[in-house]
Amino acid sequence: MVRRTKADALATRHQILDAAEAEFLARGVAHTRLQDVAAAAGVTRGAIYWHFQDKAELFNAMMERALLPCEGAAEHALRIAGDNPLAQLHEMAVAPLRVMAESEQVQRVFRIAMHQTEYTAELAPVQERYLEGIGEFQQQLADALQRADALGWLRPGLPLQAIALGLFALVDGLMHHWTLRPGGFDLVAYGEVTVRAYVHGLRAALPQAAPATATPPAAPAPRLRAPRSRPAPST
């Protein structure tokens, strides 16, 4: 009897996940059976159960392997934006769009999650995992807003949790629309413009307000002086 190595087991696991991506994308998650995934992967159904307890666990593993774009965005923003909370906010919002635009695997997985999944009772753990990730991301946005507010950089009286939810909805909506037709518009460019406009609208009308991005503000345009009137020439 041939003993399987850890490398063999890992290769089989990835083979199953690759097949699951393809089958979920083609059939939809609710209509895909584990037998379908096994056949596409060229393994037995027992091999799938050796790696995954059920379809929900298989789906979760597929999502985890694609490195959810929203996760890790805060750490990325800190590296890019330093201690400027409004720059952090901008970078946190745009980071998921960049990840999605650059990774075909992330695009496939998010097309499945957004358009090919019915969150039935069978997939309740999947939905819970998704909502947990959303909640963490929104809280990171709210934390950056609170730091900016403490510095006096935001207009007074803004409901920060609602503002964080609105910014998340903007990003989520862009990803949702783009995954319907990848390449239909430049996801990162449109994201940069819309997020910058959103964050700019939050800023206090004070000279010390921080820029919406890490780039320094443009120099003010020179003021033009009205020409001096000259006396009419004598006749």
Instruction: Answer yes or no: do 60 and 101 share one domain.
Output: no
Instruction: Answer yes or no: do 186 and 106 share one domain.
Output: yes
Q: What are the tens digits of pLDDT across the range 117-126?
A: 888 887 887 7
Average pLDDT of the segment spanning 141-161: 96
On whether the CB atoms of residues 70 and 133 are closer than 8 A, the answer is yes
Average pLDDT of the segment spanning 215-230: 43
Q: How far is CA 56 from CA 27, 43, 187, in A?
A: 16, 19, 30
Q: How far is CA 60 from CA 64, 127, 208, in A?
A: 6, 10, 45
Instruction: Answer yes or no: do 156 and 78 share one domain.
Output: yes
| Confidence (pLDDT) at 70 | 62
Instruction: Answer yes or no: do 132 and 190 share one domain.
Output: yes
| Confidence (pLDDT) at 3 | 57
Structural domain contains residue 49: yes
Give the integer Cα–Cα distance in Å for 143 and 161. 9
Q: What are the tens digits of pLDDT across the range 30-89?
A: 899 999 999 999 999 999 999 999 998 999 899 888 765 566 777 777 788 888 999 999
Domain termination residue (choose one: 20, 47, 65): 65
Give the integer Cα–Cα distance in Å for 102 and 178. 13
- 24-29-35-37 Cα dihedral, nearest 10 degrees: 20
Residue with tokens 């919002």: 93
- 37-42-48-50 Cα dihedral, nearest 10 degrees: 180
How many helices (H) and strands (E) the chain has is answered by 10, 0
On whether the CB atoms of residues 184 and 178 are closer than 8 A, the answer is yes
Q: What are the tens digits of pLDDT across the range 163-202?
A: 999 999 999 999 999 999 888 999 999 999 999 999 999 9
Instruction: Answer yes or no: do 184 and 97 share one domain.
Output: yes
Structural domain contains residue 35: yes
Instruction: Answer yes or no: do 32 and 147 share one domain.
Output: no
Long-range contact list for 47-52, CB < 8 A, 24+ apart? 47/12, 47/16, 48/16, 51/9, 51/12, 51/13, 51/16, 52/16
Phi first, then psi, for residue 204 (nearest 5°) are: -70, 145
More confident of the two residues 113 and 199: 199
Domain at 35, CATH number: 1.10.10.60
Give the integer Cα–Cα distance in Å for 156 and 213. 20
Residue with tokens 């490195």: 67
Q: Is 53 exposed, middle or buried (0-12, 13-18, 19+ CB in 10 A)?
A: exposed
On whether the CB atoms of residues 96 and 175 are closer than 8 A, the answer is yes
Instruction: Answer yes or no: do 86 and 170 share one domain.
Output: yes
Task: Please tell me the total count of domains within the chain.
Answer: 2
Whether residue 97 has pLDDT greater than 50: yes
Coil, helix or strand at residue 206? coil
Instruction: Answer yes or no: do 81 and 188 share one domain.
Output: yes
Domain span at 35: 8-65
